[in-house]
Structure 1
Amino acid sequence: MVKKILLSFISLAIGATFIADEALIKDTVGLDKDKVLTLEVLTLAIYLFVSELVRVDVVGILMMVLLPLLGLVSPEKAIGGLSSNAVVSIIAVIIIGAGLDKTGVMNVLAGYIIRFAGKSKTRIVALISGTVALISSFMQNIGAAALFLPAVVRISKRLRIPVSHMLMPMGFSAILGGTITLVGSSPLILLNDLLSMYELPPFGLFSVTPIGLSLVAAGILYFILLGRFILPKVHSSEDEGKFLPSDLSQTYENICGLYELHVPVNFSRRKIGEIDARRRFGVTIVAVYHRKTRKKNFAPHREEVVEPSDDIAVIGCPDTVDRFARELGLILKEELEEFADDLSNVNAGLVEGIITPRSELAGRTLNDVRFRRRYEVNPVALVRRGDVIYSGFSDMKLMPGDTLLLFGRWDKFLELKDRNVFAFSTEIKGEIMRPGKAKFALLWFGVALTLILVFNVKLSIALLTGALGMILTKVMSVDEAYRSVDWMTVFLLAGLLPLGIAFQESGTAEFVAKTIISGIGELTPLSFYLLVALLTSFFTLVVSNVGATVLLVPLSIDMAMEVGADPRLSALVVGVSASNTFVIPTHQVNALIMRPGGYRTIDYVKAGGGMTILFILVLMASLYIFYV
């Protein structure tokens, strides 16, 4: 009720302005009707973002509807954001990132990051942020962020680090990385074209690098030192990271976790059936890594031979696993090593499968069907009429209603889901991976980059080429491509673009800029650069960074000549400051990470406020040290 009353009040206020006499408005506030309406709509959008009365994508749709109704933009421009270069590029780059993830490429990348950084959250955040910033210096920052998004989510789940503590540092670093070179962001790419109108010398590719590197280093240190205070800890579900979900823990009391053991060189080779681990010790061997051949079996059968120097993974409880290790002379590891990625909760887990009357297993034993070889998953326990059986059930005839607790990789469970074997009563969390298509995914990613960097093809067309190539080569299906896109992000950005157009076309942006600059007295060059940086930072929050650059570069050059400052340097300040967009999720990167990170607008205000101040301070210090 409160929401409805408040929104109705705001609508009436805007409506009253709309029907009011334009001359009366101009006499009262000194502005024409379009400027007043634009400022009111802007205030409404900011209020809805901060108050979270409605979802952010609904705010975007509201802008698409409200602006043409008020006559501030044409209907074509209001919905034109859905086909804009930025929005189409985001859709395409998300599909490309999903394709790389589906083929396991991002898994490999995540593995390298963990290998170098270990389990230190500080090192992981620094390594990811630095890598994304470096990539962002030569490609669009939204592309760098979207490509790394799947890897960061996987690392978060694997190491049980809140994803909210990793995505915002990565996203902010992607934005900051765009200031390292003159091709890292659209405002800096435009800079030399705008300077040429004034016949000023152009900047070189690395003219901005000292500022960009300083900003990236300061941004990473900001999150390393203050991250725990400014980043939200988005609480995951109760079962997140647990080996056995809470709804199963009371049923299966003898199952506690997954353990890895090393087979010493003095171990006498023997078959898994001869070890008889389940009957003798109450543990289940679920994976074997043969070090000599470097092959892994994630559903080892009774005839599988365990040899010296192998590693095995078992399911059990600490006391039973410890006894198993001592009696066989195995070395129990403190944590998973060889199987850390393969059997992490991102890639494997436990599910319950119920035998139905039509199941192909009904009336047969697991040994009869050679269960592990055939289905490539491990039976861990059998539940029959409420009794849990942990050993000896491989030779029991299965009956409709029996429930098997199974452990295996998610892709194998997804394959089983489409067969007439089980009715699964628990969620299957993974997705079918296509590692054999990795070369095609990398090929089309390379094609997209080549079209952008070498042939100067428009970003959206180049990225759509890469996305379409992945679909045609069956890296992913077209339905999977559609499902991979976060449509909340798409509508948020598409709705904000017409607001920027209204702000610029109505003359509101130019009016505000000139009013602020003319209201300031005499300035030193450095204080003038500070004013330009603050002004650009504000405008970039409400207008596109390109729009702010096009508007403010000419103004800053004219004003620089009046106050005796370097006009080229004032233009550079505008180009760099156009990246200072951290306080609200209007930037494409901020919008991209908002939903996966579980962020709210207030989280951007909290973390982005400090980053905005730090950005200005580092920019001013860099100007003073390297340029002035």
Structure 2
Amino acid sequence: MLVTLIILVLSAAFFVSGKVRSDIVALCALIGLLVFQVLTPEEALSGFSNSVVIMMVGLFVVGGAIFQTGLAKMISSRILKLAGKSELRLFLLVMLVTSAIGAFVSNTGTVALMLPIVVSLAANAGMNPGRLLMPLAFASSMGGMMTLIGTPPNLVIQDTLVHAGFEPLSFFSFLPVGLICMLTGILVLLPLTKWFLSKRKKKDEEVSSGKSLSELVKEYGLAHNLFRLRVDAASDIVGQTVQTLDVRRRYGLNILEVRRGEASQHRFLKTVTQKLASADTVIQANDVLYINGDASAVNRFAGECRLEMMDGHATEEAGNGERSLGFYDIGIAEIVLMPTSNILNQRVKEAGFRDKFNVNVLGIRRKKEYILQDLGNERMHNGDVLLVQGQWQDIARLTKEDTDWVVLGQPLAEAAKVTLDYKAPVAAFIMVLMVVMMVFDFIPVAPVTAVMIAAMLMVLTGCFRNVEAAYKTINWETIVLFAAMLPMSLALEKTGASESISNSLVSGLGAYGPIALMAGIYFTTSLMTMFISNTVTAVLMAPIALQSAVQIGVSPVPFLFAVTVAASMCFASPFSTPPNALVMPAGQYTFMDYIKVGLPLQIIMGIVMVFALPMLFPF
């Protein structure tokens, strides 16, 4: 027992210091338990095969797909438009929308998604963003209390109950608790944020190292001269290559991109593929041509070749109907020519951008002038900024030619931000399917199986660009931390440490009744969560809560709910949960801001829960 407690205390100390990565600390603790033979290798490694760990991996993938397809941003942006410029409505909507998303997506991901939206909304409403960002972080944690999958501590107490032989909790067993948390949070935060977070100076905007894709499109006026033409099956150009069409010489137009629906004609499996309009690209029926040039010339080209003008009356399959360049596979970036460049004074068509790098030049910025017409014959000068278009990997290759030009910004980072909007309905269907399988007991599918099915469907239906993108959504540090710390609770039980701690709590508080004992467990967990991650705290406290309830002969359910609520509702420190830390720089918060606003909320939440939990889950 002594060895186990020493390892636990040392682990807690390292978790608090933050000087060593938390997953490394957890692995060292696990190795310590193995070396001192507290656990057998099978027991020590059992966490990595635990169904909760596998479920967490799947949820990272599902959540990543929801972001990658732009589904979460789409939903939240539309709902938040309802707020207008009313401070009260904006505050309430931020809290409600964030908690709703947080019920199904990780709280860290929820805050990462909502942060830029909330900042822009606050700016439009003439409101200090600091008033909304801390409630945003807190609401993401409150939303996690509404469903079984909302936050890892919920999965921890489910696992503890099942292993102890009790009935498992349902998907929405947590909903009443989450709603009470939400209501308490709104009532407490409304006055506190107004008192302590409203009068704050606005931070100067940071200068970005590169322009966003939408900024580049707007700056060069690409959308004003961009037209979409659909190739009819009876069109004369079906089967011809871009080179044989020769639209640049005949009409003064540029075919920038060919977009087509690939593979299955079924909407669920449909994939939109962008192809750069290279000379040997063969035009197929139903292709959508993105053409840049004069409107009258575009109309003449469409009429002569029997092409359908899409803009204004038709929408592209799985598209948004807007006249805009998509950046799913193809991107744009700026490059600035160096004084020592070998291509200075050459014509654009002689520089070999298409032959060497497979990219098009869409425009030239020369001082304050933008050159967009007849680019092939334009000679390039020192200091010219060229707007180029091509496959993302081809644009990235341009960065290696640092003697001739410098690529502005980070093209691959911009590519990673591009969402596959046409897959949003697919991601929504899969997410609903997963929730249905987890909610309804008559469907003979275990929760972990439902999550694995959803994660695999997200990959197979193209909600990620590739499998590697799906793997990148998994936060392996969290997974390893959780899997390595799970056997710690087994060690505490095996050595009798859990029983000893629960005996201390029972002997000290048990005589005062189950409510006093549950309050002791709640506030012990709440205190630990200020220094240790909520997942680790839940793993350590869940068996203690279970033992305490069993010893006094009452139901362990309210005790375990006390653990998960206390572990998740930690607001008094910027470092207690990732969401709290995420909003700190954007909201210009100090440590004392969290004490002023978060500590009263944490204490009030604890008092409310001590009385509410026995009413929801009787002893």
- Return the TM-score normalized by structure 2: 0.61
2:449 maps to: 461
Question: Which consecutive unaligned segments of at least 5 residues does structure 2 have?
Answer: 124-128, 230-255, 258-289, 297-320
Distance of 1:174 and 1:376 partners within structure 2: 47
- Go from structure 1 to structure 2 and tell me whether the alpha carbon gap of 1:357 and 1:576 turns closer, same or farther (over 3 Å shift): same
- Go from structure 1 to structure 2 and tell me whether the alpha carbon gap of 1:53 and 1:430 turns closer, same or farther (over 3 Å shift): same
**Is 2:520 the counterpart of 1:516?**
no
**Residue among 380, 400, 410 paired with 1:427:** 410
Amino acid in structure 2 at the alignment position of 1:217: L
**Residue among 104, 107, 113 paired with 1:151:** 113
Residue pair 2:335, 2:387 contacting (<8 A) in 1 also: yes
**Pairing of 1:112-127 with structure 2 (within 5 A):** 112-118=78-84, 126-127=92-93
- After superposition, give the CA deviation of every residue in 1:38-59 in whole Å (9 maximum; x if it has no partner): 2222222222222222232332
Distance of 1:451 and 1:590 partners within structure 2: 33
1:500 maps to: 489
2:143 maps to: 174
2:309 maps to: none
Residue pair 1:497, 1:544 contacting (<8 A) in 2 also: no
Amino acid in structure 1 at the alignment position of 2:548: L
| Residue 124 of structure 1: how far off its partner (Å) | 5.5
Residue pair 1:104, 1:434 contacting (<8 A) in 2 also: yes
**Residue among 600, 608, 615 paired with 2:605:** 615
**Pairing of 1:292-441 with structure 2 (within 5 A):** 301-304=292-295, 351-352=334-335, 354=337, 363-364=347-348, 379=363, 381-382=365-366, 388=367, 390-391=369-370, 394=373, 397-399=378-380, 403-404=384-385, 406=387, 414=392, 417=395, 424-428=407-411, 429-431=413-415, 432-441=418-427
Residue pair 2:331, 2:391 contacting (<8 A) in 1 also: no
| Residue 614 of structure 1: how far off its partner (Å) | 2.5
Amino acid in structure 2 at the alignment position of 1:466: A
Secondary structure in structure 2 of the residue aligned to 1:38: helix
- After superposition, give the CA deviation of every residue in 1:290-330 in whole Å (9 maximum; x if it has no partner): 9xx9xxx999955248xxxxxxxxxxxxxxxxxxxxxxxxx
Secondary structure in structure 1 of the residue aligned to 2:221: strand
- After superposition, give the CA deviation of every residue in 1:201-256 in whole Å (9 maximum; x if it has no partner): 999998986654222222244555546969999x99942599699xxxxxxxxxxx
Residue pair 2:509, 2:520 contacting (<8 A) in 1 also: no
1:77 maps to: 43
Secondary structure in structure 2 of the residue aligned to 1:49: helix
- Go from structure 1 to structure 2 and tell me whether the alpha carbon gap of 1:423 and 1:80 turns closer, same or farther (over 3 Å shift): farther
- After superposition, give the CA deviation of every residue in 1:343-364 in whole Å (9 maximum; x if it has no partner): 9xxx9997335599899x9623
Distance of 1:545 and 1:399 partners within structure 2: 63
Amino acid in structure 1 at the alignment position of 2:479: V
**Residue among 549, 553, 556 paired with 2:549:** 556
| Count, aligned residues | 494
**Residue among 449, 452, 459 paired with 2:435:** 449
After superposing the two structures, state which structure 1 stretch, 606-615 or 86-95, moved more. Answer: 606-615
Residue pair 1:179, 1:208 contacting (<8 A) in 2 also: yes
Distance of 1:393 and 1:626 partners within structure 2: 67
Residue pair 1:85, 1:460 contacting (<8 A) in 2 also: yes
- Go from structure 1 to structure 2 and tell me whether the alpha carbon gap of 1:65 and 1:142 turns closer, same or farther (over 3 Å shift): farther
Secondary structure in structure 2 of the residue aligned to 1:475: coil
After superposing the two structures, state which structure 1 stretch, 165-174 or 66-75, moved more. Answer: 165-174
Secondary structure in structure 2 of the residue aligned to 1:177: coil
- Return the TM-score normalized by structure 1: 0.60
Distance of 1:224 and 1:53 partners within structure 2: 36
| Residue 511 of structure 1: how far off its partner (Å) | 0.6
Residue pair 1:582, 1:609 contacting (<8 A) in 2 also: no
1:486 maps to: 475
CA RMSD of aligned residues (A): 5.8
Secondary structure in structure 2 of the residue aligned to 1:514: helix
Distance of 1:438 and 1:202 partners within structure 2: 33
Secondary structure in structure 2 of the residue aligned to 1:352: strand
| Residue 538 of structure 1: how far off its partner (Å) | 6.3
1:37 maps to: 3
Amino acid in structure 2 at the alignment position of 1:303: D
- Go from structure 1 to structure 2 and tell me whether the alpha carbon gap of 1:542 and 1:508 turns closer, same or farther (over 3 Å shift): farther
Residue pair 2:365, 2:371 contacting (<8 A) in 1 also: no
Residue pair 1:549, 1:575 contacting (<8 A) in 2 also: no
